[in-house]
Structure 1
Amino acid sequence: MPKAHGRRKATFAQERIVFAIAAAMFIVFAIALPGFLDAGNLLSLVQSVSILGILGIGMALTIIGRGIDLAIISTMAMSVAWVLFLISQGTPVYLAILYGNIFVVLVGLLIGFLVAYAEIPAIFATLAMTTAIYGFTRVALVDIDLVFLPDSASWMRNFGAGYVFGIPVPVIAFAAVALLAHLFLRYTKLGVFIRAMGDNPLRARSAGVPTRPIILLQYVLSASIAFFAGLVLATLVSTMNTRVVNSTMVYDVILVVVLGGVVLSGGRGGIVNVIVGTLLIGIFLNGMTIMNISYSVQNLIKGGILLMAIIIDTILNPRDEQTSQQGDI
């Protein structure tokens, strides 16, 4: 018990440190970067941060349960591209969204089956599924890179680009997903099972936790959250570019989760960690964009930060002998 208390205390300390760094960075950028405090830039910041945060929550749910979902961006992009394509072909909006939701649930179940029952390490299963989802969708469902929100469904733009009481809808969507995920992890039996399985899968199994079905649940939740994030993004910019699958966006999502304090070995961290990590990375990326730092240099910086975050996570949360026997995440 004292050891667990110490881990929770360290995680809480990391949350505060990351939040302090984000606040300090915001102040420095506000003073040093012309245009940072412009209304248009701040609006772009909160919208992009919200979408990144929603994806981070989906990723965190898998990592807390001792997994990882490298297919989260592919799931988001290809499912929503298909929904927009269906709408453009005359399918009613509610039916197109239903089909898209069924698609991501099947994707989540397939990934979960590969990890839980075929016992393929999650990092390899989801990496392979990234290409499989993209290839299948391009061949069988959508054969174009850029899919636009049709004029017949222009009212959907209110979902991504609208406001409620002056608050951008993406921010409200992020807050809603964060609240629901927090309540799920903390107060539901399934959420407790996910955390227990991530902390010690052998002990959880011995205690009667249905670990294989829980793994299925993790990836269905991750895929569903990715689909929701994609709908917010697509209705914000009125399009979905399927080439985002080949971008570094998935690493931004992992960076948000790891920097925020969700432990890669599983079992520790929560939604608050994702929120503070999202704030830090969102402000940082926005500042680099204003400074006109090239995309390649940004990727170099982000890669270095991610590597340092993983090293620090490994030092602060060493994998014990029992953890090591479980293989890669």
Structure 2
Amino acid sequence: MTSSTKRGIKLDQQKIVLLLFIVIFTGFSVLLPGFLSVGNIVAMLRSISVLGILGFGMAIVVIGRGIDLSLVALMAVPTALVMTLAQVGFSVPEAMILGLLFAAAIGLLNGIFVAYAEIPALFVTLATGLGLAGLGQVGILQADMVPWPHELDSLLWLGGVDIAGMPSSIVILVVVAVCAWLFLNRTKIGLFIYAIGDNPMGARTSGMPVRPIIVLQYVLAALIAVLAGFVMASSNGLMDTRIYNLSLIYDVILVVVLGGVGLSGGRGGVFSVVVGTLLVGTIINGMTILNLTLDVQNLLKGVVLLVAIALDSVLNPRNEETAQQGDI
């Protein structure tokens, strides 16, 4: 057998997940009444867009050998803050700048603790996510559910309108995907992120600014999360900050890991997030049509996530010589 033939039949995790998506989507189309209806497809596309945008933010961090459990809080609270500020008289530019600065500050805090204090990202982002959610619910916001203010109607194009029959949120998802691909594959910083994730000690030895780049990863993830928040809020007509208490963050991790972004760092990319989003979004939609309870859905997603993490550990084994956070 020639090498070209071997290459032709080789299946990596991304191709396997893409095939699974095609099989499951086809099966749901045949077996589930209403799955292919226009209303259901539009609803699925809207939910997939938010999930995918958050997935791109998470992927930037995970490729650099981190994780960000505060993304959903960063999506909800700064977005709700902007909406609240617009309601009480701030201009749109003023409210947007304050909200983005607030989110960037949380991302900066995450990055500094991870890169300079060398605290594991899991604990840092869990703590900031909990703190941010609490601050939103009992501090800076007037209510858990913040309605979309008419003062921000100029931003409805982010997710609240249709373009040629397609939700505008899908267009935003495509734009974010293209920008993320260009950043990770066509910029020096993006290539540095891959190098840091693959071998942080080697990256540091070669002269890369490892710590500032790690901080940048978390700031970018925070800003992407705010964009996802505006897509969700403009689509739904409100922002429910209690979403932090749901399982969305685990869905985001499932998208990233299932798609092939290795938790050991330095692996995967935009296509990984795309195929992971398609598969996870389709499964969630199918379970909703089947009227499975939330507890059953979470159980099934938990099993899938566990299998995905186990598969990741086999396909992308962590190099223990460079696994210690203190190496960077």
TM-score of Structure 1 vs Structure 2, range by shorter chain: over 0.9
Q: TM-score, normalised by structure 1?
A: 0.94
Alignment match, 2:24: 25
Residue identity opposite 1:240 in structure 2: M
In the alignment, is the contact (CA less than 8 A) between 1:234 and 1:240 conserved in 2? yes
Matches within 5 A, 1:159-198: 159-198=158-197
* C-alpha distance in structure 1 between counterparts of 2:226 and 2:150, whole Å: 21
In the alignment, is the contact (CA less than 8 A) between 1:157 and 1:238 conserved in 2? no
Residue identity opposite 1:101 in structure 2: L
SS at the partner of 1:68?
Answer: coil
In the alignment, is the contact (CA less than 8 A) between 1:73 and 1:226 conserved in 2? yes
RMSD: 2.0
Residue identity opposite 1:16 in structure 2: K
SS at the partner of 1:161?
Answer: coil
* C-alpha distance in structure 1 between counterparts of 2:93 and 2:158, whole Å: 14
Matches within 5 A, 1:52-67: 52-67=51-66
Q: TM-score, normalised by structure 2?
A: 0.94
* C-alpha distance in structure 1 between counterparts of 2:8 and 2:232, whole Å: 35
Residue ranges of structure 2 left out of the alignment (5+ in a row): 1-6
* C-alpha distance in structure 1 between counterparts of 2:228 and 2:76, whole Å: 9
User: 4+ residue stretches of structure 1 with deviation over 6 A?
Assistant: 8-12
* Residues 245 and 140 of structure 1, relative CA distance in 2, 3 Å threshold: same
* C-alpha distance in structure 2 between counterparts of 1:92 and 1:315, whole Å: 52
Q: 1:320: how far off? A: 2.4
TM-superposition CA deviations, 1:110-146 (whole Å, max 9, x none): 1101101111100000001111112223343103110
1:314 aligns with 2:313: yes
Matches within 5 A, 1:20-99: 20-99=19-98
Alignment match, 2:291: 292
* C-alpha distance in structure 1 between counterparts of 2:85 and 2:137, whole Å: 14
Aligned length: 322
In the alignment, is the contact (CA less than 8 A) between 1:197 and 1:267 conserved in 2? yes
Alignment match, 1:3: none
Matches within 5 A, 1:1-329: 13-326=12-325
Q: 1:101: how far off? A: 0.8
In the alignment, is the contact (CA less than 8 A) between 2:158 and 2:172 conserved in 1? no
SS at the partner of 2:159?
Answer: helix
Residue ranges of structure 1 left out of the alignment (5+ in a row): 1-7
SS at the partner of 1:208?
Answer: coil
* C-alpha distance in structure 2 between counterparts of 1:211 and 1:155, whole Å: 39
In the alignment, is the contact (CA less than 8 A) between 2:136 and 2:241 conserved in 1? no
Residue identity over aligned pairs, in percent, reads 49
